[in-house]
Structures are given as structure tokens and as C-alpha cells.
Chain A
Amino acid sequence: MDFDLSPEQTQLKAGIDRLVGSAYGSLEQRNAHAAEPLGFSEKVWAQFVEMGLTGIPFSEEEGGFGGGPVETMLVMEALGRGLALEPYFASVVLGGCAVRLGGSQALKSCVIPGIVEGSIRLALATTEKQSRYDLFDVATVARSDADGLVLEGAKCVVLHGDSASHLVLSARMAGQRRDRDGVGLFLLPADAPGLKIHGYRTQDGGRAAEISLSQVRLGADAMIGEPGHGFPILERVAEFAIAALAAEAVGIMAALLQLTVDYLKTRQQFGGPIAQFQVLQHRAVDMFIALEQARSMAFYAAMMVEHPGAAERAAALSAVKVQINRSCRLVGQEAVQLHGGIGMTMEYRGAHYFKRLTMIESAFGDTGYHLKRMGDFGTAGQKR
């Protein structure tokens, strides 16, 4: 048992910290990146590629750099600290994971080198207006006709859906809307005829899109995984997503706590710094405890996300998300309260941390969703 980074990991961390620190040192820089046409900086994205970050989760045979969950954790933590806008999570973590875990050899060798080079950017299109967090709840359909597959339907809040070159999209091939079987997973180019993408800004300063599909034709090579067996792949994608979000949240919360503590020490009221008040000190300590509990769970996620036992792994990642969500809520709200009025303003970095933390809470399962899952795991194998 040790929590130390290897020399290579230490080097990687130093490199990412440097890159994110220079690209996202100030809120003005971030605002400038957000104002670019794609909603992020292509220059910074190219730096991610150059540093090899986009190749981290892929094996060397696949054309990547053979990193594991710990390497992804280091990247996501740094991206969180910087509130980076580039589509690393959407393309490399979510899309890349679907291709890596579900794709055929042919598909992988066609797509992964592009992800690593940054020329292919993926977006995961799974959420629908009725689905909430259930990845098997799919109303979009994929019908076979004489010429192949035809997609009909719509997807919501597709992260970076307006800048992606390709979508990883779920569609029903068989069964009823909420069946776990019968969901297909497809890779399709964003410029496919019949695909309409409506992009917009998200609450946390990023980008997302509403997508509609009308008579979208697919080639046979578009399938990720076996026909109708897409849901198990998506479950794994969600687990990797939770592990990555946990690390991002830890990066944000650590930065936000630091901002808050510094503010308490400098803000003068009643003839001295407000840090002199014990009631404020204790609230900052509560933030610290929430951060450290979250950090422990980010480690736990990195440890468990490749665990071979599916049930144990699923329960672990649900536990991680609950703790992360609760810590996000406490640290975010307390940071605003302890800052007072300035914490309420768009010009303050801390407010943006709070907004991103709030969005992390409702990504890939909110607290209620995962507690409910934990409750269900408790009765697994029992009658009811």
C-alpha cells in the first residue's frame, strides 16, 4: 500500500500543472478561451496533444501512451484546478473509453490515432429528454433497411457536441424503451446528412448541444461493440467518467478552499482579518474535511475502476459519486458564503469553481440516484 507517485507520474503532474497554470492562470485568460469560436482554445488543445495527454488512456498497441486511472486522475485534477474548457473529458475520457472498450480492431485503429493526434474529437450522445441518468433508457432508434441502418431521434445536453468531429451515440435496435438489451452504440461523423446540432453555452462556461437525427444513414462500420449490446459498454464509460469527475472535483475543491482561506486572511472587518473569527475558521475546516474525504474517494475510484468484479466495482463507483457530490455541495456553498458578496459575482474565480462543482454533481448520477443504487445493491440476491 502506498500513495506515492512514480517518477514518471510526478513528471507528468509537473508538466500538466505547468501547462494549465500558464493557459488558465487568470479568469481573463479563461474568458478569452471561452470566447473563441469552438468555446475553447485550439492552441491549448494542441498543447494537450503535444504533451501526450490525449493518448493517456490508450495502450501503446492502440497508438496511445499506456497510462492508467492514476494518470487520468492527475490530468483531471489539474484541469479542474484551471477550470479548463478543452474537451478532454468529452473526447478522451468519454468517447475514447467507448471506442477503447467496445470498438473492433478495425474501428480502433481507424479512430484512436486521430483522438491521440487531436484531429478526431468525440462527443458522447446518450442523454435523452426522458432518460435522466439511465443510460439504457433510449428512445432514439436504429432501424435496418435494405441499405443498412437508419437513425431517428434526439439527444440532449451532449457535452462539446457542437465542436466534435464525431459522435458516439446510443440508439435502440430492439426491445422497449427501458430494456437493458437492444441498445446499440454507433460512431458517426458530425457532418452526417440528417444530423442537426444546436450548440449552446453551459452553466459552467463550457459548451454542449441538442442533437436531432432524421433519416441518418450509417455504414456497417459505424457499430461500436456487438449490435444491441451497447449498454454494458456505456456502464463502463460511466464508471470511468465518475473516476475522472472525482479527480476534477478534487482539483477544484482544493483550489477553492485555498482561495477561501486566503480571502479570510486578507478581508478586513471589525478592525482585523475576518479569519480571527472562530465560527469562520470552523466552517473552513469543514470544507477541508469534505475535500480530504473527496480526495480519498478519488483515490478509491482510481483503484476500483479497473477492478474485475462488476458488482463490487459498480457499488464502489456509486459510493465515490455520492461522497464527491456531497463534498462539492458543501465546499461550493460554503466558499460563496465565506466570501460574502464578492463570491456572488461573475468576475470572481471562486464563483466559477462553484458553478462547475454544481454541474459535476449532476453529471453521471446525482446524490439521490447513486444512493438509490447503493440501496439496491444492499438487496442484490434477495427476494425483493
Chain B
Amino acid sequence: MDLRFTPEETAFRDEVRSFFRTQVPAGIRAKVSEGRALTREDYVTSQRILNAHGYAVPHWPREWGGQDWTPIQRYVFTEEMLLAAVPLPLQFNCYMVGPVIAAFGSQAQKEKHLARIANLDEWWCQGFSEPGAGSDLASLKTKAVREGDHYIVDGQKTWTTLGQYADWIFCLVRTDPTARKQAGISFILIDMKTPGITVRPIITLEGRHEVNEVFFDNVKVPVENLVGEENKGWDYAKFLLANERTGIARIGLSKERLARAKRLAKEMPAGEGMLWEERDFRERVAAVEIELKALEITQMRVVAAQARTSDNRPDPASSILKIKGSQLQQATTELLLEVAGPFALAAPDLLAPPHDGWPFDYDWADAAVASYFNSRKVSIYGGSNEIQKNIIAKAVLGF
């Protein structure tokens, strides 16, 4: 048993750490650190820098740009990216549709899309959730009816993150209405420019336009855009959701936020001194730090177990990463909210460029509060924490 990194792993960490901190523009990283919204251009710029160095899709198969890294390297890489406040490569491209096409897509789909997905030449969004299919995803109703060499798609998707920027959407659609829930679902790729698609913004509680509703009205999709086999879409969706567990806890992000909360607390007047000098505040920070340390070791156990075995069955401990990781992400934003104190009240126009001449001493506070509001989502999306508990109850405790 040795809980330290090997010299090779340490060297790798130093290499990627230096890369992230020197090659990705400081302006973009500052926005991520402060919790400000990125523009489409920010995402594209950052991902193309990563891709030029083989860092956008290291977890893909080698022939499509992957790196053959060990699970430990992948973990170190993602954590360092979060610690450096580098935007993660677009999740829908690099962690969702890319691996599905690489694993199950046709040769034509691979050649058409994969390189463009990695370079963010194509922006993808996810068409899974529907108004009537949230945690119970398999009850989705959007249907695709085969007519000659096309499907006709009708229905509605929702919570489509950054769909306003997307060129393509990957969708779960019902192709066999007579089959059992999960059995009649297919996975198809749809060009967002196809006539009959309407995108309507949903403004979330922090005031930003991050998610959308997408309506499909008689949308014609070529049959060659079906991924894999018809009615096997649920299998591909499960693959997609289980595909990248490494880094799901976002420990690096929470660490970065904690460090920031401490820094800001040292500059925030309170009583005779600064907020950081108040013991009970420091104890609240310590309490979060302790749980984060425990989760970091838990994450390392999961990664070490992945490195040891070739089978892809996750360590039982991995099931807690999503639950605890999301709770800690939320806890770090609560600490920032507390640092902001009365200055949390001020809400500038979040869509406007930041604050030249802003007459406010704490010009980070509005974004910190926005992060707090926005981060309530992390225990809801990707299978709510209650669904995660159902999974543990069944898979680990055997209920």
C-alpha cells in the first residue's frame, strides 16, 4: 500500500500543471475562477488550445486522438485542469457524444464528426431530458418515425445546456412505441439547422441563459444519423453516463473555490479585524476541507482500483463520488456566499461585461452568489442524488 504518486506520476502532474497555467489565457481562467459565464468564443479558444496539444480528448481511443493514459494520469489531468480553473472541454462533445460515436457509430459517422467534435468545430448539445422524463428518463416521448430513408422526429427536449450555441444535438427518441419502456429507444444525431427545430431559452434562477427547451416539429433526419442499431439507444445512453467517472466529484474545483474563499475572507473586514480571524468561520471552512480530503482519498481509491483491473466495473466507492462531490461543490459556494455577507445583495446585469468603473468594493460578490444559486443544480442533474442513492441501495447494499 502506497498512497503517494510515483515519480513518473509526479512529473506528469507538473507537466500538465505548467501547461494549464501558461498556455490557457489568464482572462478565461479568471472568469472560471470567479464563477462568471463564459462566451462561446471562450470555450472554443480554450478547447482548441487543449486539442492542439492532444489534451482535449485524452480518454478517447488512440486512433481518434486519445492518449492511452492510465486512470491515474486521467485523474491527475482532470484535477489539475480544475485547480487551474481551465474550462473543461465541452462535456457534451468530449465526454458524451464523442465516446458513443467512437464506440458504436458507423465508420462514416466517425470520420465525419470525431475530429470536429474534439476541436469544437462542431458544438454538440444533449437531447435526453423531457418535460415528462427527468429522473425517470426512460419514459421519454419524443418520437422518430421511419419514412423511407428518413426519420420524422416530433416532440420536445428540455434542460438543453448551451443549446443556443449548438450545431448538433444527440437525442434519445422513441422508435418503437409498442416495446417495453427502455427497449424502444434509439440514439440519433440531429443537425440543429434542420427545419422544424426551435430553441427557446430558459433563464435559470441566477439570471443566466444556460439551458433551453428544444422543440421538434416534423423534423426530417436522415437514417444514416442513427447511431448503432435501432432500439438499442438505452444501452448507448447507459454507456455514455457510465463512461467517464474519473473526476465526477470535481474535487479540484471545490479545492480551488475553498482556496478562493479563504483568500477573500482574509480581505473581508469583520469586527475589529478580518473575517478569517473569526474562529467559527475558520472551523466551518475546516469542516468542508476535511470532508473534501476524505473524498479525495475515496476518489484515489476508485482510480487505483480502475488502474488495477481491466474490467470496467466501478469500485463500490465510486457510487458515492457523485453524491458527496456535489454536496461539497455546493458547500464551497455556501462559504463564498458567507464571505460576501451583506454585499451578496447586489446583482449587476450578469450578461454585461464586468465592471469597469463599477462603484462597488467587492466586484467578485455577484458572481459568487450566482455560483451559489447555479450550483444547486449539481445534486439534481446527471441522476439526482436520490437516484444515486437508489443505485447504491441496489448495487452495493443489495436491497
A residues within 8 Å of B by Cβ? 1-6, 9, 70, 261, 264-265, 275-276, 278, 281-282, 284-286, 288-289, 292-297, 299-300, 302-303, 319, 322-323, 371-372, 374-379, 382, 384
A300 / chain B contacts, CB cutoff of 8 Å: 3, 293-294, 297
A289 engages B301 (CB within 8 Å): no
Are A288 and B1 in contact (CB-based, < 8 A)? no
Q: A261-B398, A281-B393, A303-B3 are in contact. Are A378 and B286 (CB under 8 A)?
A: yes
Q: Looking at chain B's contact residues, is the secondary structure mostly helix, strand, loop, or mixed?
A: helix
* CB–CB B283/A293 < 8 A: no
A-B contact sample (7 more), CB < 8 A, given A282-B393, A285-B393, A292-B320 = A1-B5, A293-B298, A297-B297, A300-B3, A303-B3, A374-B282, A378-B262
The docked-state distance in angstroms from the alpha carbon of A37 to that of B324 is 47
Known A282-B389, A300-B294, A323-B294: A374·B6 in contact at CB below 8 Å = no
Q: Check A293 against B324 for contact (C-beta < 8 Å).
A: yes
Query: Does B289 sit at the interface, judged by CB under 8 A?
Result: yes
Task: State A295–B3 Cα separation when bound (angstroms).
Answer: 14
Q: Are A3 and B1 in contact (CB under 8 A)?
A: yes
Cβ A5 vs Cβ B392 within 8 A = no
B32 lies within 8 A of chain A by Cβ: no
The count of chain B contact residues (Cβ–Cβ below 8 Å) is 49
Taking a contact as CB atoms under 8 Å apart, the answer to whether A275 and B286 are in contact is: no
Contact partner, B286, options A9, A282, A288, A371, Cβ 8 Å: A371
Known: A2-B304, A264-B399, A319-B290. A374 touches B1 (CB 8 A): no
Chain A residues lying within 8 Å of B4, measured Cβ to Cβ, are: 1, 303
**Residue B15 CB within 8 A of the other chain:** no
Contacts from B to A (Cβ < 8 Å): 1-6, 9, 72, 262, 273, 276-277, 279-280, 282-283, 285-287, 289-291, 293-298, 300-301, 303-305, 307-308, 316-317, 320, 323-324, 386, 389-390, 392-393, 396-399
Give bound CA distance, A319 to B296, whole Å.
13
By a CB distance below 8 angstroms, the chain A residues around B276 are 378-379
A292 touches B3 (CB 8 A): no
Question: Nearest-CB distance from B39 to chain A (Å)?
Answer: 37
Q: CB distance A284 to B286 under 8 Å? A: no
Contact between chains at B277 and A384 (CB < 8 Å)? yes
Write 25 A-B pairs (CB below 8 A) sorted by A numbering: A1-B3, A1-B72, A70-B1, A282-B386, A284-B393, A284-B397, A285-B389, A289-B320, A289-B392, A293-B295, A293-B320, A297-B293, A297-B294, A297-B297, A300-B294, A322-B287, A322-B290, A323-B293, A371-B286, A372-B279, A375-B280, A376-B279, A377-B286, A384-B273, A384-B277
A293 vs B297: C-alpha distance in the bound complex, in angstroms? 8
CB contacts (< 8 Å) of B277 on chain A: these are 379, 382, 384
Chain B, residue nearest A6 (CB): B1
B390 with A281: CB separation less than 8 A:
yes
Query: How distant is the Cα of A1 from the Cα of B296 in the complex, in angstroms?
Result: 13
Return chain A residues, CB-CB under 8 Å to B296.
296
Q: Which residues of B contact A4 (CB under 8 A)?
A: 1, 304, 308
Q: Is B289 touching A292 in the complex (CB atoms < 8 A)?
A: no
Return the chain A residue nearest B297 by Cβ: A296
Closest to A368 in B: B283
The complex places the Cα of A303 from the Cα of B301 at a distance, in Å, of 13
User: In the complex where A3-B3, A296-B294, A300-B3 touch, is A378 in contact with B282 (Cβ < 8 A)?
Assistant: yes
- Separation in Å of the A306 CB from the closest CB of chain B? 12
In the complex, the answer to whether B393 meets A294 with C-beta atoms within 8 Å is no
Contact A374 B283 (CB under 8 A): yes
**Which residue of chain B has its CB nearest to the CB of A286?**
B389
Q: For the complex, what is the distance from the CA of A2 to the CA of B300, rounded to whole Å?
A: 9
